[in-house]
């Protein structure tokens, strides 16, 4: 009886009539076709005239009666008149516990040499954000093992945090530290728009074997089509949602949202969207909040805590993607080139960084210590030139005297090697001792 019901279900899903179209134009990114009668987001198969294997493409828009499609792979061999067949389905992401410890592409196909994946369950690529009334309050601290974050930028389970940095400032190293040390059941990493070499380097150096064992890595390199790069980010969210629905605490890391935005910009411009500031299309800024709202903590159990890296173009913290991400996240960690050049790693600028949930996660005593440390750092930084010139005179400004005495001690606590992890309570003790030390 069960077999009969499954056969009836499959029969109901089957396409009884083929919906066909033919290729009319191709501009390098977008295929224009007359027909088929397809929906936005539907998968189609493009059949080259030379009899080669069909190429998958997705419907991304419509223009003057023509269907606009973007291919997922190489389109060599297509020609005017090539047939296009609608499949009647949208792209879905294969999910399952077998993904743990594996490196896959945006479609769930293995990139490592660990054999085929047999996954029977699928999640939709584009899922609706969590109902606001189904969200649980973020009340539990998320320990990262990173002293600067746990002590001064306390995060919570279900929080969404951004890591903002220019190129070469240590962003990937910090993300690797979080992937290894954060106390979560599962880690899902999306590496988007990276060079192929960087993916291997991140896995071997930043993440390591121990980190990979409880992680799922989804990679879409820079040479792949823009549609594949955006799908990798959506697929990472779908995989994270699967593990969250099992009641697990999930850490989602996306590196980077800037490259996701650039890929979405390519798609938008190719389909005729008007460019806005710096060429970004309206769909970029419409996608970001919908994507980020898929994370959080469910009232019925399970959570997704998210770390989104943002590659700050030209170190301009007010460029459009950076500014938009900062507005919709629950906090931001800013890495600066100046601190990295001094050898202070991770190069977290505590004065520009903040966790919007620290007030409800940390005790009043912990918040008071954090405020005092930031005050001393701000006092020291405002007089750095005076101190380095040797013009600082003790006794003139008692607060500056205290800052000069304690800054080296604080730097020693806040600096951390990539392989080093510190429990949060130990971090808080180190910070208190640094603040109580006398010259």
Q: Name, of 192-196, 310-314, 407-411, the range with top average pLDDT.
A: 407-411
**Which pLDDT score is estimated for 16?**
64
Do residue 337 and residue 409 come from a single domain?
A: no
Do residue 261 and residue 404 come from a single domain?
A: no
Do residue 44 and residue 169 come from a single domain?
A: no
Which of 343, 362, 381 is the endpoint of a domain?
362
Model pLDDT for residues 104-155, shown as the tens digit of each residue: 999 999 998 888 888 889 999 988 888 888 899 999 999 999 999 999 999 9
What pTM value is reported for the model? 0.90
Looking at residue 419, which CATH number applies to its domain? Answer: 1.20.1270.330
**Which pLDDT score is estimated for 281?**
92
Token readout for 431 is: 């910070």
Do residue 177 and residue 126 come from a single domain?
A: yes
Do residue 259 and residue 358 come from a single domain?
A: yes
Using 50, 70 and 90 to split pLDDT, how confident is the model at 78?
Answer: confident
Mean pLDDT across the chain, nearest whole number?
89
Do residue 332 and residue 428 come from a single domain?
A: no
Looking at residue 270, which CATH number applies to its domain? Answer: 3.40.50.12240
**Which pLDDT score is estimated for 419?**
83
Kindly tell me if the per-residue pLDDT of 10 is higher than 70: no
**Which pLDDT score is estimated for 201?**
81
Do residue 329 and residue 273 come from a single domain?
A: yes
More confident: 425 or 436: 425
Strands 20-26 and 31-34: antiparallel
Which residue range(s) make up the domain with 59? 17-90
Model pLDDT for residues 151-204, shown as the tens digit of each residue: 999 999 999 999 999 888 888 889 988 988 898 999 999 999 887 787 888 888
Do residue 191 and residue 251 come from a single domain?
A: yes
Do residue 61 and residue 106 come from a single domain?
A: no
Give me the percent of the chain exceeding a pLDDT of 70. Answer: 95
Which of 90, 117, 141 is the endpoint of a domain?
90
Model pLDDT for residues 320-377, shown as the tens digit of each residue: 999 999 999 999 999 999 999 998 999 999 999 999 999 999 999 999 999 999 999 9
Q: Is 117 left (phi over 0), alpha (psi -120 to 50) or beta?
A: beta
Do residue 280 and residue 381 come from a single domain?
A: no
Do residue 369 and residue 313 come from a single domain?
A: no
Model pLDDT for residues 45-73, shown as the tens digit of each residue: 988 876 678 889 999 999 888 999 999 88
**Which pLDDT score is estimated for 199?**
84
Positive or negative torsion for Cα 385, 386, 391, 392: negative
Number of domains forming the structure of the chain: 3
**Which pLDDT score is estimated for 49?**
72
Do residue 326 and residue 177 come from a single domain?
A: yes
Model pLDDT for residues 208-234, shown as the tens digit of each residue: 777 788 899 999 998 898 999 999 999
Q: Name, of 169-173, 218-222, 239-243, 279-283, the range with top average pLDDT.
A: 239-243
């Amino acid at each position: 009886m069960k077999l009969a019901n499954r056969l009836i279900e499959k029969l109901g899903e089957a396409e009884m009539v083929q919906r066909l179209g033919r290729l009319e134009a191709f501009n390098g990114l977008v295929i224009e076709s007359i027909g088929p009668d397809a929906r936005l987001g539907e998968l189609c198969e493009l059949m080259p005239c030379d009899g080669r294997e069909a190429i998958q493409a997705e419907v991304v828009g419509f223009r003057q009666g023509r269907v606009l499609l973007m291919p997922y792979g190489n389109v060599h061999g297509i020609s005017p008149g090539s047939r296009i067949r609608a499949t009647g389905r949208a792209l879905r992401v294969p999910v399952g516990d077998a993904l743990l410890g594996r490196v896959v592409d945006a479609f769930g196909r293995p990139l490592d040499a660990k054999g085929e994946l047999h996954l029977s369950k699928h999640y939709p690529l584009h899922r609706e954000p969590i109902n606001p009334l189904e969200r649980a309050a973020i009340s539990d601290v998320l320990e990262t093992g990173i002293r600067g974050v746990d002590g001064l930028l306390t995060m919570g389970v279900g929080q969404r945090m951004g890591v903002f940095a220019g190129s070469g400032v240590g962003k990937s190293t910090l993300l690797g530290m979080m992937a290894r040390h954060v106390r979560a059941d599962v880690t899902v990493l999306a590496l988007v728009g990276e060079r192929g070499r960087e993916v291997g380097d991140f896995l071997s150096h930043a993440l390591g074997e121990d980190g990979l064992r409880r992680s799922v890595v989804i990679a879409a390199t820079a040479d792949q089509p823009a549609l594949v790069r955006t799908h990798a980010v959506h697929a990472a969210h779908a995989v994270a949602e699967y593990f969250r629905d099992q009641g697990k605490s999930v850490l989602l890391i996306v590196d980077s949202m800037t490259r996701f935005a650039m890929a979405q910009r390519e798609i938008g411009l190719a389909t005729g969207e008007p460019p806005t500031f710096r060429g970004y299309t309206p769909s970029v800024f419409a996608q970001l909040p919908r994507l980020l709202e898929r994370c959080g903590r469910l009232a019925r159990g399970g959570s997704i805590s998210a770390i989104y890296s943002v590659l700050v173009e030209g170190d301009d913290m007010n460029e459009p993607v950076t500014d938009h991400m900062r507005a919709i996240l629950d906090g931001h960690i800013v890495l600066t080139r100046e601190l990295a050049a001094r050898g202070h790693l991770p190069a977290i600028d505590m004065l520009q960084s903040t966790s919007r949930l620290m007030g409800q996660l940390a005790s009043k005593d912990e918040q008071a210590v954090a405020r005092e440390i930031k005050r001393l750092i701000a006092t020291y930084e405002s007089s750095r030139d005076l101190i380095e010139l040797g013009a600082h005179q003790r006794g003139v400004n008692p607060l500056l005297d205290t800052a000069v005495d304690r800054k080296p001690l604080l730097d020693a606590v806040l600096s951390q090697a990539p392989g080093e992890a510190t429990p949060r309570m130990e971090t808080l003790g180190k910070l208190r001792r640094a603040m109580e030390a006398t010259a």
